[in-house]
Amino acid sequence: MSSTTNLFSPTKLGAHTLPNRIVMAPMTRLRAVDSIPNSVMATYYAQRASAGLIVTECTMVSPMSNGYMNCPGIYSPEQVEGWKQVTQAVHDRGGKIFLQLWHSGRVSHPSLLNGELPVAPSAVAGEGTLHSPIGKVTLETPRALETQEIPEIVEQFRQGAVNAVEAGFDGVELHGAFGYLIDQFLQDGSNQRTDKYGGSIENRARFLLEVVSGVTSVWGGEKVGIKLSPSNTFYGMKDSDSQGIFSYVIDKLNPFNLAYIHLMEPNEVDLANRQVLNPVLPIFRPIYQGTIITNGGYDRQAGNNVLSTGDADLVSFGKLFISNPDLPKRFQLEADLNTPNPKTFYGKGDQDLELGYIDYPFMEIQTE
């Protein structure tokens, strides 16, 4: 890649041509009351349509995939209708938007699942707490999935991809990161199975590859991405050979000709927890033949720097997009950025959906 490549260089992303390489990262904003996307969410995403690509927040593929209150879904007709207003609003502004398909696995609680235990590869509890309808709760030991149940979950992902077509999305991203179900199957700290989905690296990668196969059968590879976090320690995730399992998976993704893989660098918490792969990009760039989106606390300068190395093709931004709906313009003009308010990152129940969500000012408002 040329050293002149920067955040504002147009690029091909699978089937799409993007005006820039600035991606709005998927974030857990939790404004979908009763799991149905709404007009406030449509406004939020439309405000940010100048991104080269928007990836939505994690979106449930089934009622049993729920890990958070007010998280949207893509398994009911009402949810599909709700998402239609979001995709229409983004397309009206000239933007592109992918839906992130997600199953929380063990990162849930019976109070979020109609009294059912969360499901996971193995009966191994994650570490940490959740906000639930009954208050703050500690993660409980999940129920290990039976072998014959696993194809049903693969089918839920595939059906979610079908529903995303109907909802008007431009593609989908699989959430294979951050300690949720796909990641739980990958890593041997959470996967202690003895059937064909556990044990060897090949077996632990099987669920991820079956989900990728199911979803690409709907969209084609060029409109599907996947997010992976080889150094993540979220919810107690760990593997005895992180480089081995993720090298295997990333190599096996090459034949799918995906739109991209979305690779997460470790954050400060990961680095403080234990030895993790750091940095991630130089390890896996030689293995993957396609497009890589990187995420890892980048600012404008760091984003341009990583693109100039060729280790990544696009850069995703999370917190900066929360507080700056016009982030690409601010980057282009090297303008001041709004400061995000972490207290409203994850919603405020259904009391005030707009607070810290669609009320961050655009540059025009600031300079009047």
Q: What are the tens digits of pLDDT across the range 233-260?
A: 999 999 999 999 999 999 999 999 999 9
**Domain 11-367, what architecture?**
Alpha-Beta Barrel (3.20)
Whole-number pLDDT of residue 211 = 99
43-77, pLDDT tens digit by residue? 999 999 999 999 999 999 999 999 999 999 999 99
Q: Alpha-carbon distance 220 to 218, whole Å?
A: 6
Among all chains, which residue has been given the structure tokens 């207290």? 343
pLDDT at residue 205 greater than cutoff 70: yes
Q: Show me where the domains of the chain are located.
A: 11-367
Would you call the peptide bond into 26 cis, given omega within 30 degrees of 0 as the criterion? no
Q: Read off the pLDDT of each residue in 29-40 and give the average, rounded to a whole number.
A: 96
Q: Read off the pLDDT of each residue in 319-337 and give the average, rounded to a whole number.
A: 97
Under a CB-based contact definition with an 8 Å cutoff, are residues 176 and 104 in contact?
Answer: no
Q: Where are the alpha helices (DSSP H) in the chain?
A: 39-47, 77-92, 150-166, 181-186, 201-219, 242-253, 268-273, 281-284, 300-309, 319-323, 327-333, 363-367
Kindly indicate the confidence band of residue 272, based on its pLDDT and cuts at 50, 70 and 90. Answer: confident
Q: Give percent of the chain with pLDDT exceeding 70.
A: 97
On whether the pTM is more than 0.85, the answer is yes
Q: Alpha-carbon distance 350 to 342, whole Å?
A: 17
pLDDT at residue 226 greater than cutoff 80: yes
Q: Is 298 a catalytic residue?
A: no
73-102, pLDDT tens digit by residue? 999 999 999 999 999 999 999 999 999 999
Plot region of 113 (φ>0 → left; ψ -120 to 50 → alpha; else → beta): alpha
Whole-number pLDDT of residue 367 = 45
Q: Read off the pLDDT of each residue in 185-204 and give the average, rounded to a whole number.
A: 98
Query: Which residues fall within 8 angstroms of residue 365, CB to CB, at 6 or more apart?
Result: none
Q: Alpha-carbon distance 176 to 184, whole Å?
A: 9
Which residue in 68, 75, 180, 298 is the catalytic one?
A: 180
Whole-number pLDDT of residue 1 = 46
Q: Alpha-carbon distance 197 to 203, whole Å?
A: 5
Kindly indicate the confidence band of residue 366, based on its pLDDT and cuts at 50, 70 and 90. Answer: very low
